[in-house]
Structure 1
């Protein structure tokens, strides 16, 4: 009797499973799903890299502070400033000129600021690749940065982006990475989006020496307070 009941229960579960329909079907094609999975994997990879970097910083500080605590603290602060984009740097990378299209110049059309959403889309597309350091029109782009439209003018870090032409610089970890970014941008569909706004993307070949400015804006410490000397 127990065996019969168990078999009946299993058949009922199987019947319900076969006849159960999801409330909503995912109607996206396979490539859209693959792209979303790739984006999620990229985000996970970047998070893991950040965790490894932080672990390395803590390990270096713990190892050095027993020998020279003051020097260890200075080196740690300098390293964090570099990662946050507060210092200038030079490395392999590429330069990209955002220019008015030849047709707009020939027709005498007014040269207007690049739309904020177009610039944001460009930066987000480039940032699919990890380890990139970006400067937009001499303004360092970091995790603290914001691209906004203020009174019809596109801004980065609250500073106006001048009307085209202007330069976007990208520094990569290796020269091989610069070549990957270069080839990726050459084939990017963003060229069509820029052309609709009477703009073109002129991508220079990779270089071993691209110099970026550091973040020059003041950072407000809203929730941090300095302790009086002698307090722990």
Structure 2
């Protein structure tokens, strides 16, 4: 009986001793914390900041692009207006033009003048018919003796002197320049004028017209006088 009691007491003592040792180590041993989650958070935070920085850079870049696009859009509108204005000026005859076309030379038929004892003078009517025929055969721009022909051009006889917009046509030879849209049209116009009856009409007036071969680049000057606009008023907005 005493042996059992001693064994029991011994076991109890050992258990108590182990508990005391464990408790002692728990109190005096420094606690080591797992810092892996903290470093992971730091890495995630660093990645987030890096992503934020990249996003800010991209947003700034896109805003710059939008600003440039808006500027280009406004400039394109202004450029379109400028191009339209230039095109209208060209159509109105206010701009010098270059292009393929041909020349025609008008001069007196001196042999006929000597026989009839008449003065060399070109008729306004025959000039108008010539312009109409050129327009029928796709002439784009025309000049007569260096004067641009436009929609408001006036060709008439003033005191026995044929004038185009006030410019006298009494010095010969008179050059007519015609510009077409392309060289093919210039060739077509040349062929049409070579078989035209307009030459006979000029001869009746003791004049002859010589149609020269097409050229790749002719120049027609801008209209020199002031264009007067009548019977026009601003439209209601």
TM-score by length of 2: 0.62
Larger Rg, first or second structure (1 or 2): 2
Of the candidates 180, 189, 192, which is equivalent to residue 184 of structure 1? 192
Of the candidates 130, 147, 150, which is equivalent to residue 155 of structure 2? 147
The 5-angstrom pairing of residues 1-232 of structure 1 reads: 66-68=73-75, 69-104=77-112, 107=115, 109-222=117-230
User: Size of the alignment, in residue pairs?
Assistant: 164
Partner of 2:26 in structure 1? none
Q: 1:188 & 1:211 partners in 2: Cα distance?
A: 24
Change (3 A) 1:125 1:190: same
Greater share of helix residues, 1 or 2? 2
TM-score by length of 1: 0.63
Q: CA deviation at 1:182?
A: 0.7
Whether the 8 Å CA contact 2:120–2:206 is kept in 1: the answer is no
Change (3 A) 1:111 1:165: farther
Whether the 8 Å CA contact 1:114–1:164 is kept in 2: the answer is no
Q: CA deviation at 1:178?
A: 0.7
Q: Which runs of 5+ in 1 are unaligned?
A: 1-63, 227-231
Whether the 8 Å CA contact 2:99–2:181 is kept in 1: the answer is yes
Q: 2:72 & 2:194 partners in 1: Cα distance?
A: 47
Q: 2:230 & 2:215 partners in 1: Cα distance?
A: 40
